[in-house]
Structure 1
Amino acid sequence: MPKTILITGATDGIGLLTARMLAKDGHTLLLHGRSAEKLTAAVQSVSTSGAAPRTYRADLSQLEEVSALAGEITAGHERIDVLINNAGVLKTPQPRTAQGLDARFVVNTIAPYLLTRRLLPILPARGRVVNLSSAAQARVDVAALRGQRSLDHMAAYAQSKLAITIWTQEMARAQPDGPAFIAVNPGSLLASKMVREGFGMTGNDLSIGAEILCRAALSEEFAGATGRYFDNDAGGFARPDPAAGDAAHVAAVMAALGDLAGPVPEG
């Protein structure tokens, strides 16, 4: 049965290729991007594989735009079956947002947390939230997450990816009746813009990552995987960085995310 699937960061890289794969199977796609021009190009690319998708523009480094994005989506859709939080950043010329937060944490961790919480009312119990993690994970400097300390690009990226993995497992615990929350390392050093800019290399076949995202979104092998981390480098479910099992550390990360994302409006 066709699903309604929202993909953030869907204008290039793994997000765009995943959208094209899902469109071929007849799913209804909602594509998010930061650039209106890139969204137009993405629609043309995806539409060759299936029906034309709906598009939503927002800068995920600005949390007020994330809230507006969630409001626009909930106003236009009674149900979203799958949310793929794909958007991410490694290197950026402006590592600090206007609010003084680390842009890597905002885009990679806080924005998807806020978006997911706002969309929960239209995610069914059998729905799924697929979060892009990474093999690069590191214990979170909670002061840096809160904007009180600066980190270099790689440290911020690795910590942001453990942080999204942590909130994946914690949201799964808080929502035992569903939807399912799954963190996925799509594969290391794939041929994405992030890898080109961050490491100066072409990278591996992007389809490696897109195929696992499609599986995580739809296949039965992930139906009972809520709260788990899938490492595509290893080809199976795995344990994330040990800090994800440190109760005090997890509590500190979740407290910071709650403060930074703010309360979810009622109604």
Structure 2
Amino acid sequence: MNKTILITGSTDGIGKLTAIQFAKDGHTIYIHGRNKEKLQRTILEIKEVSGNKNIGGFTSDFSNLDDVKHMAKHINNEIPKLDILINNAGIFKTTATSNFKNFDIRLVVNYFAPYLLTNTILPIIKKSEAPRIINLSSAAQSHVTDEALAGMDIQNSSEAYSQSKLALTMWSFYFAKTNSKIMTIAVNPGSLLNTKMANEAYGQHWSSATKGSDIIYDLAVSEEYKNSTGKYFDNDKGNPKGFFAPAHPDAYDENLILALITKTEDIINN
């Protein structure tokens, strides 16, 4: 059955690999990237390698939440129903900064942007008979501080990244509980995969990028995971693929989760 799938951050890395896998299956794919020219080149490449002409895309800079809102509006106008949303876009080490209320760019791109996008396009997700949302988390997760949520400087890029990924995971669990008909999973696709992000940050990799794209693909469409909402999949735990495992303890603390969501709503909407 043909599904309509949106993958953010998919002009390279595991997002692009996942898009190609789905395209080869004949699904309708929408990719996303920051650069319009690169987006168009990637769309043409996916069409060519897959033989699938049902490939489209959206441009948005996720460090700018006004840009995210603009993209979400286009999605709601262009896509009547969305079966699968893969929140893959992410950033780690960069010299770029966010213009959003002085927040660290990693918190904006990795957490605020997917939070805003998902909730804005929720009406078309709910039109699917069996919708799924896959949120790309990480093995790196650390307590989300009050200082970070106040827009104060975070100690370093690694700490900022870890906080953003735990925030995403905590929200994933909350979203799964409040939207029980949408299968929602947070996943660590694998540490130090052979991607631009890992190589720029560490200058090395442990596993191929396909280790990550393969598990994203499975979580998004396999019947094996259809009843796995509200869980965290750790792809570092096994070979060739991992299994569901505990996330950071904060992800199970209802008071911390509620405080995070309340603060997030205040930050985004005020």
| TM-score, normalised via structure 1 length | 0.94
**Letter paired with 1:22:** F
Match of 2:170 among 161, 166, 176: 166
- Check conservation: 1:138, 1:158, Cα contact below 8 A: yes
- Check conservation: 1:33, 1:39, Cα contact below 8 A: yes
Count residues with an aligned counterpart.
Answer: 262
Q: Cα deviation per residue 1:165-214 (whole Å; 9 max; x = unaligned)? A: 000000111112x2111101111100111101111114421110000010
The whole-number CA distance in structure 1 between the counterparts of 2:146 and 2:225 is 30
Residue 245 of structure 2 corresponds to residue 238 of structure 1: yes
Match of 1:154 in 2: 158
For structure 2, the residue ranges without an aligned partner over 5 or more in a row are: none
- Check conservation: 1:142, 1:253, Cα contact below 8 A: no
Using the TM superposition, give the Cα deviation of residue 94 of structure 1 relative to its aligned residue in structure 2, in angstroms. Answer: 2.4
Q: Provide the secondary structure at the position in 2 that maps to 1:182.
A: strand
Match of 1:84 in 2: 86
Match of 1:179 in 2: 182
For structure 1, the residue ranges without an aligned partner over 5 or more in a row are: none
Q: Provide the secondary structure at the position in 2 that maps to 1:55.
A: strand
Following superposition of structure 1 onto structure 2, how do residues 183-198 of structure 1 map, counting pairs within 5 Å? 183-198=186-201
- Check conservation: 1:129, 1:182, Cα contact below 8 A: yes
Bigger relative contact order, structure 1 or 2, given CA contacts below 8 A and separation 6+? Answer: 1
Q: Provide the secondary structure at the position in 2 that maps to 1:233.
A: coil
Cα-Cα RMSD: 1.4
Match of 1:220 among 212, 220, 223: 223
- Check conservation: 1:195, 1:203, Cα contact below 8 A: no
Match of 1:247 among 254, 259, 270: 254
Using the TM superposition, give the Cα deviation of residue 145 of structure 1 relative to its aligned residue in structure 2, in angstroms. Answer: 2.9
Residue 32 of structure 2 corresponds to residue 25 of structure 1: no
| TM-score, normalised via structure 2 length | 0.93
**Letter paired with 1:154:** S
Query: Following superposition, which runs of at least 4 residues in structure 1 exceed 3 angstroms of deviation?
Result: none
Residue 212 of structure 2 corresponds to residue 205 of structure 1: no
Match of 2:144 among 140, 144, 151: 140
Q: Provide the secondary structure at the position in 2 that maps to 1:230.
A: strand
Match of 1:4 in 2: 4
The whole-number CA distance in structure 2 between the counterparts of 1:8 and 1:149 is 26
Match of 2:50 in 1: 49
**Letter paired with 2:15:** G
The whole-number CA distance in structure 1 between the counterparts of 2:51 and 2:66 is 32
Using the TM superposition, give the Cα deviation of residue 30 of structure 1 relative to its aligned residue in structure 2, in angstroms. Answer: 0.4
The whole-number CA distance in structure 2 between the counterparts of 1:203 and 1:55 is 31
The whole-number CA distance in structure 1 between the counterparts of 2:229 and 2:100 is 35
The whole-number CA distance in structure 2 between the counterparts of 1:143 and 1:125 is 41
